Amino acid sequence: MPNYRGSATLRPMSDLSNKHIVLGLSGGIACYKAAELCRALVKQGATVQVVMTEAAAQFVTPVTMQALSNQAVYVSQWDPREPNNMAHINLTRHAHAILVAPASADFMAKLLHGRADDLLSLMCLARPLDTVPLLLAPAMNKEMWAHPATQRNMAQLRQDGAIVLGVGQGDQACGEVGDGRMLEPDELLYELTALFQPKVLHGKKILISAGPTYEAMDPVRGITNLSSGKMGFALARAAHEAGANVQLVAGPVNLPTPYGVARTDVRSALEMHTAVMAQVERADIFIATAAVADWRPAQAAAEKIKKGSEGLPSFDWVENPDILADVAAHPRSQAGDLYCVGFAAETQYLQAQAQAKRERKGVPLMIGNLGPATFGQDDNALLVIDAQGVKELPRAAKLILARQLVADIAMRINTKNKGQT
């Protein structure tokens, strides 16, 4: 199961521009999160139409939601503002998606049976199924969440075509602790953003290494590099958005786990090699973005090395295993079952150095970038290098570049598979 630590790593940049989202609120204390979510959706470029149940209005006022959405809020199915008195029809026909957050246990049970006795349930029932997806963000007490009736209802709603999101775990308003909390606004924003990304890697298993490694010299000192891990984490997010099952092996970085991604933390090159090789049998694609140290001290000192009269300390150096080359030499890679992508961070002669690295490692695709110009930054510029030549990806946010790379890799995988059939 993925490890859901943290929320989305990089906020999308106007990913919801030109999207019209209907945000539904049913009754529950989690309505306070819907206010923050509404504000975030607007900041990301969406227009937001809020529809509330009467119960929701007990927790947060329509005035609040109107101020945040800059749109009139609808509560009653008898709202006279619609000329034809058919708000349940009019509000859905131009929507790109309906997100009900919070979705109470009662509201989901109502949807399951096709009951439509208020505006929000009417609207969900009347939406065009093929063009307006319905997302439900459950929120309830842990016992209500675990009840067999709730679990049956959610399973049937999914079968009927609704996207029932997961829940968080932690303190609840009632004072109990457990599953059933509504996802946080950042997580819901991610889910909605991902909804509109093409699922070009649906069902694929993606293994990504990211960040630096750290090679200890003594208990307090070591050798590392300036890699922040941001490109690898952006790729993990983009691959998950594209429908993949993503396993991220991360060196020592200070980044939250991309939502929905399973993460393994490592420190040294040896630890990263072990963690990656343990996943190779289950992966369809390996993307090696990590900046792995080429060497390590043969023996780290047991205690802190002190200054002394004997001059500078000396070490015997040992070459670290070549993770990308070892994965590329794996029988699954050689058989064409595992597609390998490398990254080359250079300081000069980028194209020539990256092409030589691609041939030396024996991988079909190498991504080149200038290390000093990208380490720690939120943007980058890339060269995509294969046996046929080079393609430039101009400087852009790393998440945008990651989505472009994911689309490129998916195209290559699909082309290769078509050629084998």
Burial of 234 (0-12, 13-18, 19+ CB in 10 A): buried
Contact 118, 77 (CB under 8 A): yes
For the chain, list the domains and their CATH numbers: 20-195 (3.40.50.1950), 205-296+316-420 (3.40.50.10300)
Active-site residue, selected from the candidate residues 31, 38, 124, 174: 174
pTM attached to this predicted model = 0.88
pLDDT at 265: 97
End-to-end CA, the chain: 32
**Helix/strand/coil for 37:** helix
Q: Tokens at residue 60, please?
A: 């947060």
* 199 backbone dihedrals φ, ψ, rounded to 5°: -90, 60
How far is the C-alpha of 172 from the C-alpha of 292, rounded, in Å?
42
The Cα angle at residue 126 between residues 124 and 127, in degrees rounded to 5: 70
With contact defined as beta carbons under 8 Å apart, do 42 and 69 qualify?
A: yes
pLDDT given for residue 90 in this prediction? 80
Closest C-alpha to 184, from 33, 328, 385, 65? 33
Measured CA to CA, the distance from residue 327 to residue 49 in angstroms comes to 49
CB 350 within 8 A of CB 357: no
Alpha carbon distance 372, 353 (integer Å): 15
Q: Report phi then psi at 281, rounded to 5.
A: -65, -20
Please answer whether residues 253 and 210 qualify as being in contact, where contact means their C-beta atoms are separated by less than 8 angstroms.
yes
Q: What are phi and psi of 291, to 5 degrees?
A: -95, 90
Q: Is 38 a known active-site residue?
A: no
**What residues in the chain have per-residue pLDDT under 70?**
1-14, 309-310, 417-421
Report the distance separating Cα 266 and Cα 354, nearest Å.
Answer: 26
Three-point CA angle 161, 138, 125, nearest 5°: 40
pLDDT of residue 261: 96
Looking at the DSSP bridge assignments, the partners of residue 390 are 385
Q: What pLDDT is recorded for position 14?
A: 62
